[in-house]
C-alpha cells in the first residue's frame, strides 16, 4: 500500500514544492551567479548556474529512484494529486462550461429558443448523470474510508489496552 | 578549479548528452509502467521528467560557458563565434548552427515538459503516464541525433586555433536573437498536444474535455508560430535587402505549414466541444501539426531542398525520416485502432450552420497548407518522378494562393454570422444586413476613390499560364485588391457587430437586474468574461489588417538607379535626392562625418549614403542605406533603410559606391500598406494572448500574484518595445536635423525607448494596483 507522509518529508521535491524554500533556492543561486558574474566575468556566472542545474538533476534523479524503490514517502499533496480528479469530475466541468457558453450564445441571439431548449436539456441531463456517477463513487469511497478508519480505531484501542496491561504506571496517551 | 573544468569541458558536455538519453529512457520506462495503474511509479516518472529537463538545462549552460570562454577546441564554438563578438551574440550562437540549434530545441522542449507536468498535477491522471512517455520519446530522438550526428560538444581534429570563424554577419542582428527562439517555441509547443493525443488514443480516454484543455497549449504554440514567422518576415524585410518580406523560400514555407493546421485545430475543436463531432479530424490535426514541425526541421537541416536558410548538409536527414515514419505509423495506427470509439455522436444538420462554415474553413486552411507543401517539394518530386529540374518561384505561389487566401478570408467573416446546428432565415437576415452593406460600400468606395488615392481597385496582370486556368488566375489577380478591400470591410463589420451584440446583451441583462452598465463597462466585462471568444475576434481583426497589407503588394513600385551626389530621381510619388555618402572608419582627421561608434568599430567597413525624400514637393524624411564589409569574413551585407508610414514604406538599398566620385547605384521600392501587416500581427498576438489569459479567481489569487503578473507583462511589453525601437543605423530617420550626426540620430530612439519602457512599466503598475484594489473590493475588505 502507498504510504503517505506529512508534508515535512525531506525529499528534495517535497522541499522544493514549498514556495518559501523554492524561492530561497532560486534567489540564492541567482544572487550567487550574479555575484560571480560581476566579480569574475559573466562566464563564471553561467558556471554557477550550470552547477545549480547539475545539483538539481542529481537531487531529482535521487528522489525519482527513491520513489521508484518505494523508500520515499509521498507527501499528502502528492498523494492527493495522484488520487484526483476522476474522469467524471473532468467531464462534469466540461459540461458545465458548455452550459455557460450556451447561455451566452442565447443572450446574444446566436441560437434559436428551440435549439437552446434542446441543447440545454441535453447538457443538463449529462451533468446530472455525471453527478450521480460521482455521488455513487464518493459513497463507495466514503464507505471504504469509514471501514478503514473503524479498523484503525479498533486496532489503536486494542493496542492501548495491551500497553495498559503491560505498564499500568504509564498509561499510553 | 576553473582550469580543471576547462580541460574536460568537451568530454563533460558529451557525457551530459549521453546522460540526457539515459535519463529520458529511464523516465519513459517508468512512465509506461506507471500507465499500468501504479501511482507511485507515476510520481517517479514525473520527477524523472523534471530531472531530464534539468539535465538539458545543464548541457545548455555548459555550451554557453564554452562560448563565453572561447573554448575553440569545441568544433561548434570554433565555427560560430570569434573573440570579437559581444556577449549577446556569443549567446545567440547557441542556436546559430545545426548542432546547437538541435540542443536548443531540446532545451525548449524541456521547458514545455516542466510546465506541462506541473500543469498536469491533479489533472488527467489516466493520461499523465503516456503524455510523459511520449514527450520522453521526442527528447530521446533529438538526443540520439545529437549523439550520432550533431554533437555540439564534438572537438576539432586539429589543435585548438587562437580564434574562431565567427557568426555569419547576416545572423548578427537583433532579429536573430529573437526570431529563432520564438519560432522554435512555436514548433516545440506542438509536442505537448501531440503527447496528449497519443496518450488519449492509448488509454481510450477519447472524451471531449481533454481535447478542449489541450486547445490552450495549441493556442500557445500558434501564438509563437505567429510571432516567429512575423519576426522572420521583419528580418527578411530589414536585413536581406531584396525588398520583400516573404520569398516563398522552402524553409519559410516549412515554418508556416504548422501555423495553418494549428489554426484549423483551434477552430475545429469548438465543433467537438459543442457537437461531439470531428474527433478523428481533431486528432488528425494535432498529429499532423506535430508532424509538420518535424518535417519543417527535416527540410531545413537535411539539405533536401536548396534554401537560403539551410544549415550545412549533414546526415541527420535520415534520422528525421525514420522519426517521421514513426510518427505517421503510430498516429495512423492508433487512430485506426480507436476508430469505433471515435465515431461522431451527431452530424452536420444544415449548410447554414457554424459547424459547416468551420468545416469549410478547415478544408481551406488544410488546402492552403497542402498546396504550399506540395509546391515546396515539387522540384524534388519532379526530379524523382520525371528526372526533370523544375523550379517553383514566388509568382507561382502568389498567383495560386490569392484565390485560396481570399476564400479563407471570406469564410473567416462568414462563420461568426451563423448559429450552431442551423440558422433560421430571420437570424440570417439579421446577421447579414450590416456586413453585406459594408462589403458593397467598401467595394463602391474602392472603385470610386481608389485610383485617385493611388490604390486602384483593378490592377493589370500578366497572364501566367496559357489556357483557361491562366486566364482565370489572371482575372482573379486583377480584381484581388478590390476583393481584399471589400472582404476587409465585410470582416470588420462582422467583428464590430459581434462586439455590439455582446455589449447590448450585457446592458439588457444589467437593466433586467435593475443595474446600469455604460458601453465601456459592458465592453470591458464582456471581453474579460469571454476572453476566448472575443480574443478570437480580435485575432480576426489582426488578420484583416494583415490582408490589407498583403493587398498592398499589388501597387508596389520597384526601380533601380545610378545617381551622383545632388541628383534627384522620382519613384512612385516620392522624389529622392542623393545628398552625400560617407565611408567609415574614415582616414580623414575630421572623421569624415562618421560617428564615434562607426569610427571605433574595426570589424567592418561601412559605406553609408544619405538620401532625402519629398512627396508633392514637401520634405517627408530621409533614409541612409548602407553596405557593411565584414573584414574577417570578407562578406558584404546590405543594410536597408526604410521610411515607414501607414500609407507606404519607402525602401532603399545602396549597391556599389564609387569611392572617388561617390556615384552610387540604388534600388528603390515603394511598398504600399506594408506597415498594416506588422500592425495586424501585433493585434493577432494581443488577441491570442487575451484568449490564453487565465481567468482569475480573486479569492484564490493573492495581491502579490497579480502585481507579479502585471509586472511580468509590463516587462515583456517594455522589452518588445525596446527591441523594436533599438537604435539601428540602417533605420530611416524622419527628422532632417538629426541626420547631421549619426551619434545624434541615435539619441532619439534611445529616449523614445526609455519613454516606452517607463510607459509600459507604469501601465503594468497601474494594472497591478487596479487589480489589487479590485480584489480587495470583491473580497469586501
| Residue-wise pLDDT tens digits, B707-725 | 666 666 666 666 555 544 4
Contact predicate B645/B638, CB 8 Å: no
Q: What is the mean pLDDT of chain B?
A: 84
pLDDT of residue B731: 31
Q: Give me the mean pLDDT over the B195-212 stretch.
A: 86
Contact predicate B70/B161, CB 8 Å: no
Q: Which of A141-155, B141-155, B359-373 has the lowest mean pLDDT?
A: A141-155
Inter-chain residue contact B421 with A115, CB threshold 8 Å:
yes
- pLDDT value at B752 more than 60: no
CA-to-CA distance for B229 and B235, rounded, in angstroms?
10
Tell me which chain B residues have a C-beta less than 8 angstroms from the C-beta of A13.
47, 50
C-alpha cell at B273: 466541444
pLDDT of residue A112: 78
- pLDDT value at B763 more than 80: no
CA-to-CA distance for B537 and B178, rounded, in angstroms?
27
Determine contact: B644 vs chain A, CB below 8 A. Answer: no
pLDDT, greater one: B247 or B56: B56
Q: Give me the mean pLDDT over the B306-331 stretch.
A: 81
- pLDDT value at B500 more than 80: yes
Beta-strand pair B568-571/B664-672: unpaired
Partners of B53 in the beta sheet? none
Contact predicate B27/B2, CB 8 Å: no
Contact predicate B356/B348, CB 8 Å: yes
Contact predicate B544/B477, CB 8 Å: no
Residue of A nearest to B415 (CA): A110
CA-to-CA distance for B755 and B722, rounded, in angstroms?
10
pLDDT, greater one: B421 or B497: B497
Percent of chain B exceeding pLDDT 90 equals 48
> Residues of B131-167 as b/e, b for ≥16 C-beta within 10 angstroms?
bbbbbbbbbbbbbbbbeebbbbbbbbeeeeeeebebb
Inter-chain residue contact B42 with A82, CB threshold 8 Å:
yes
Partners of B563 in the beta sheet? B664
Torsion of CA B508, B511, B517, B520, to 10 degrees: 10
Name the maximum alpha-carbon separation found in chain B: 83
pLDDT of residue A160: 79
Partners of B559 in the beta sheet? B668
pLDDT of residue B780: 52
- The beta-carbon neighbor of B54 closest among A57, A90, A112 is A57
pLDDT, greater one: B772 or A97: A97
Q: Give me the mean pLDDT over the B470-477 stretch.
A: 87
pLDDT of residue B574: 94
**Alpha-carbon gap: A165 to the closest alpha carbon of chain B (Å):** 40
- pLDDT value at B583 more than 60: yes
C-alpha cell at B550: 498583403
Q: Give me the mean pLDDT over the B649-654 stretch.
A: 94
pLDDT of residue B745: 33
Q: pLDDT confidence of A58, banded at 50, 70, 90? A: very high
Report the alpha-carbon angle B220-B224-B228, nearest 5.
Answer: 170
Beta-strand pair A4-5/A74-75: parallel
pLDDT of residue A135: 86
Tell me which chain A residues have a C-beta less than 8 angstroms from the C-beta of B3.
none
**End-to-end Cα distance, chain A:** 27
Q: Give me the mean pLDDT over the B83-109 stretch.
A: 88
The H or E element spanning position B584 is strand B574-584
Inter-chain residue contact B273 with A53, CB threshold 8 Å:
no
Contact predicate B287/B307, CB 8 Å: no
pLDDT of residue B742: 34
Which residues of B645-691 form beta strands (DSSP E)? 648-657, 664-672
pLDDT of residue B134: 97
Q: Which of A20-24, B62-66, B102-106, B500-504 has the lowest mean pLDDT?
A: A20-24
C-alpha cell at A71: 523508500
Residue of B nearest to A4 (CA): B40
Q: Give me the mean pLDDT over the B565-591 stretch.
A: 88
pLDDT of residue A119: 82
Report the residue of B59, B70, B199, B209 to disrupt the A interface, i.e. the one with the largest count of A CBs within 10 Å.
Answer: B209
Residue B645, C-beta contacts closer than 8 angstroms, at least 6 positions apart: B675
DSSP for A67-79, written as a single string: HHHT-SPEEHHHH
Neighbour count for residue B16 (Cβ, 10 Å): 23
Contact predicate B576/B612, CB 8 Å: yes
- pLDDT value at B110 more than 80: yes
C-alpha cell at B262: 494549428
pLDDT of residue B587: 75
- pLDDT value at A11 more than 60: no
What is this structure's pTM? Answer: 0.82
pLDDT of residue B425: 83
Closest CA to B671 of B653, B649, B654, B652: B649
Highest mean pLDDT (candidates A58-72, B138-152, B371-385, B656-670): B138-152
Contact predicate B129/B201, CB 8 Å: no
Distances (CA, A) of B21 to B63, B451, B571, B600: 17, 63, 59, 47
Q: Give me the mean pLDDT over the B499-516 stretch.
A: 90
pLDDT of residue B295: 92
**End-to-end Cα distance, chain B:** 56
- pLDDT value at B614 more than 70: yes
Q: Give me the mean pLDDT over the B576-596 stretch.
A: 83
Q: Which of B156-170, B250-264, B342-356, B498-512 has the lowest mean pLDDT?
A: B156-170
pLDDT of residue B313: 58
C-alpha cell at B370: 497542402
pLDDT of residue B371: 94
CA-to-CA distance for B218 and B192, rounded, in angstroms?
8
The number of C-beta contacts closer than 8 angstroms across A and B is: 132
Report the alpha-carbon angle B126-B132-B136, nearest 5.
Answer: 155
Q: pLDDT confidence of A168, banded at 50, 70, 90? A: low
Q: What is the 3-state secondary structure (H, E, C) of B92-141?
A: HHHHCCHHHHHHHHHHHHHHHHHHHHHHHCCCCCCCHHHHHHHHHHHHHH
Beta-strand pair A4-5/B641-644: unpaired
Tell me which chain A residues have a C-beta less than 8 angstroms from the C-beta of B30.
64, 68
Amino acid at each position: 500500500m502507498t504510504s503517505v507522509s506529512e508534508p515535512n518529508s525531506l525529499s528534495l521535491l517535497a522541499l522544493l514544492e514549498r514556495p518559501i524554500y523554492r524561492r530561497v533556492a532560486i534567489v540564492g543561486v541567482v544572487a550567487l551567479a550574479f555575484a560571480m558574474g560581476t566579480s569574475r566575468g559573466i562566464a563564471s556566472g553561467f558556471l554557477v548556474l550550470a552547477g545549480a542545474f547539475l545539483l538539481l538533476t542529481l537531487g531529482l534523479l535521487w528522489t525519482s529512484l527513491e520513489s521508484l524503490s518505494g523508500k520515499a514517502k509521498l507527501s499528502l499533496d502528492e498523494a492527493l494529486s495522484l488520487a484526483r480528479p476522476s474522469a467524471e469530475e473532468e467531464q462534469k466541468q466540461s459540461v458545465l462550461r458548455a452550459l455557460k457558453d450556451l447561455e451566452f450564445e442565447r443572450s446574444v441571439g446566436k441560437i434559436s429558443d428551440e435549439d437552446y431548449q434542446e441543447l440545454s436539456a441535453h447538457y443538463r441531463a449529462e451533468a446530472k448523470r455525471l453527478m450521480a456517477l460521482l455521488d455513487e463513487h464518493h459513497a463507495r469511497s466514503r464507505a471504504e474510508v469509514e471501514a478503514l478508519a473503524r479498523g484503525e480505531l479498533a486496532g489503536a484501542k486494542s493496542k492501548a489496552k495491551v500497553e495498559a496491561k503491560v505498564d499500568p504506571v504509564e498509561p499510553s496517551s | 578549479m576553473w582550469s580543471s573544468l576547462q580541460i574536460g569541458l568537451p568530454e563533460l558536455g558529451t557525457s551530459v548528452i549521453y546522460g540526457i538519453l539515459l535519463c529520458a529512457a529511464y523516465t519513459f520506462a517508468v512512465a509506461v509502467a506507471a500507465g499500468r495503474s501504479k501511482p507511485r511509479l507515476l510520481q517517479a516518472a514525473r520527477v524523472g521528467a523534471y530531472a531530464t529537463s534539468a539535465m538539458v538545462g545543464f548541457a545548455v549552460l555548459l555550451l554557453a560557458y564554452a562560448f563565453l570562454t572561447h573554448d575553440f577546441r569545441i568544433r561548434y564554438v570554433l565555427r560560430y563565434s570569434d573573440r570579437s563578438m559581444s556577449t549577446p551574440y556569443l549567446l545567440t550562437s547557441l542556436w546559430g548552427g545545426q548542432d546547437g540549434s538541435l540542443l536548443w530545441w531540446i532545451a525548449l522542449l524541456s521547458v514545455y515538459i516542466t510546465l506541462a507536468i506541473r500543469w498536469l498535477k491533479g489533472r488527467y491522471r489516466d493520461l499523465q503516464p503516456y503524455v510523459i512517455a511520449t514527450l520522453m520519446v521526442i527528447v530521446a530522438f533529438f538526443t540520439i541525433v545529437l549523439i550520432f550526428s550533431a554533437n555540439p560538444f564534438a572537438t576539432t581534429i586539429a589543435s585548438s586555433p587562437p580564434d574562431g570563424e565567427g557568426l555569419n554577419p547576416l545572423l548578427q542582428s537583433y532579429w536573430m536573437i529573437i526570431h529563432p527562439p520564438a519560432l522554435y517555441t512555436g514548433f516545440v509547443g506542438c509536442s505537448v498536444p501531440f503527447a496528449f493525443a497519443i496518450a488519449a488514443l492509448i488509454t481510450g480516454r477519447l472524451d471531449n474535455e481533454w481535447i478542449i484543455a489541450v486547445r490552450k497549449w495549441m493556442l500557445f504554440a500558434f501564438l509563437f508560430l505567429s510571432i516567429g514567422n512575423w519576426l522572420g518576415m521583419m528580418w527578411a524585410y530589414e536585413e536581406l535587402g531584396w525588398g520583400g518580406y516573404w520569398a516563398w523560400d522552402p524553409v519559410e514555407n516549412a515554418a508556416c505549414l504548422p501555423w495553418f493546421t494549428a489554426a484549423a485545430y483551434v477552430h475545429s475543436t469548438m465543433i467537438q466541444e459543442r457537437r461531439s463531432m470531428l474527433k478523428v479530424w481533431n486528432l488528425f490535426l494535432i498529429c499532423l501539426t506535430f508532424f509538420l514541425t518535424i518535417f519543417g526541421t527535416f527540410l531545413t537541416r537535411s539539405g533536401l531542398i536548396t534554401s537560403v536558410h539551410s544549415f550545412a548538409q549533414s546526415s541527420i536527414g535520415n534520422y528525421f525520416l525514420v522519426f517521421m515514419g514513426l510518427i505517421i505509423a503510430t498516429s495512423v495506427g492508433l487512430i485506426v485502432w480507436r476508430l469505433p470509439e471515435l465515431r461522431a455522436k451527431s452530424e452536420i444538420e444544415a449548410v447554414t450552420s457554424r459547424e459547416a462554415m468551420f468545416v469549410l474553413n478547415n478544408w481551406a486552411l488544410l488546402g492552403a497548407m497542402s498546396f504550399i507543401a506540395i509546391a515546396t517539394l515539387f522540384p524534388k518530386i519532379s526530379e524523382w518522378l520525371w528526372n526533370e529540374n523544375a523550379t517553383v518561384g514566388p509568382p507561382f505561389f502568389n498567383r495560386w494562393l490569392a484565390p485560396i487566401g481570399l476564400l479563407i478570408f471570406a469564410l473567416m467573416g462568414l462563420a461568426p454570422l451563423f448559429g450552431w446546428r442551423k440558422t433560421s432565415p430571420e437570424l440570417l437576415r439579421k446577421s447579414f444586413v450590416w456586413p453585406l452593406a459594408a462589403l458593397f460600400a467598401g467595394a463602391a468606395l474602392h472603385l470610386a476613390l481608389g485610383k485617385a488615392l493611388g490604390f486602384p481597385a483593378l490592377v493589370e496582370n500578366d497572364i501566367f499560364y496559357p489556357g483557361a486556368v491562366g486566364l482565370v488566375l489572371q482575372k482573379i489577380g486583377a480584381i484581388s485588391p478590390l476583393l481584399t478591400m471589400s472582404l476587409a470591410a465585410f470582416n470588420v463589420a462582422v467583428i464590430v457587430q459581434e462586439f455590439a451584440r455582446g455589449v447590448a446583451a450585457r446592458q439588457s441583462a444589467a437593466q433586467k437586474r435593475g443595474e446600469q452598465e455604460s458601453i465601456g463597462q459592458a465592453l470591458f466585462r464582456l471581453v474579460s468574461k469571454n476572453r476566448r471568444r472575443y480574443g478570437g475576434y480580435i485575432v480576426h481583426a489582426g488578420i484583416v489588417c494583415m490582408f490589407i497589407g498583403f493587398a498592398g503588394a499589388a501597387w508596389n513600385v520597384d526601380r533601380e538607379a545610378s545617381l551622383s551626389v545632388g541628383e534627384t530621381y522620382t519613384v512612385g510619388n516620392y522624389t529622392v535626392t542623393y545628398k552625400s555618402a560617407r565611408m567609415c572608419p574614415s582616414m580623414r582627421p575630421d572623421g569624415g562625418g562618421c560617428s564615434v561608434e562607426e569610427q571605433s568599430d574595426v570589424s567592418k567597413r561601412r559605406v553609408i549614403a544619405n538620401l532625402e525624400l519629398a512627396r508633392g514637393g514637401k520634405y517627408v524624411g530621409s533614409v541612409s542605406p548602407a553596405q557593411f564589409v565584414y573584414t574577417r569574413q570578407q562578406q558584404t551585407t546590405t543594410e536597408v533603410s526604410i521610411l515607414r508610414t501607414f500609407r507606404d514604406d519607402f525602401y532603399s538599398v545602396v549597391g556599389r559606391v564609387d569611392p572617388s566620385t561617390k556615384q552610387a547605384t540604388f534600388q528603390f521600392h515603394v511598398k504600399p500598406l506594408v506597415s498594416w501587416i506588422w500592425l495586424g500581427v501585433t493585434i493577432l498576438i494581443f488577441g491570442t494572448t487575451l484568449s490564453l489569459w487565465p481567468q482569475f479567481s480573486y479569492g484564490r489569487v493573492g495581491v502579490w500574484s497579480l502585481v507579479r503578473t502585471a509586472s511580468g507583462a509590463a516587462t515583456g511589453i517594455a522589452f518588445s518595445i525596446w527591441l523594436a525601437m533599438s537604435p539601428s543605423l540602417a533605420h530611416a530617420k524622419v527628422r532632417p536635423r538629426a541626420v547631421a550626426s549619426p551619434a545624434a540620430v541615435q539619441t532619439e530612439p534611445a529616449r523614445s525607448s526609455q519613454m516606452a519602457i517607463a510607459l509600459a512599466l507604469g501601465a503594468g503598475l497601474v494594472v497591478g494596483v487596479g487589480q489589487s484594489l479590485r480584489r480587495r473590493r470583491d473580497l469586501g475588505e
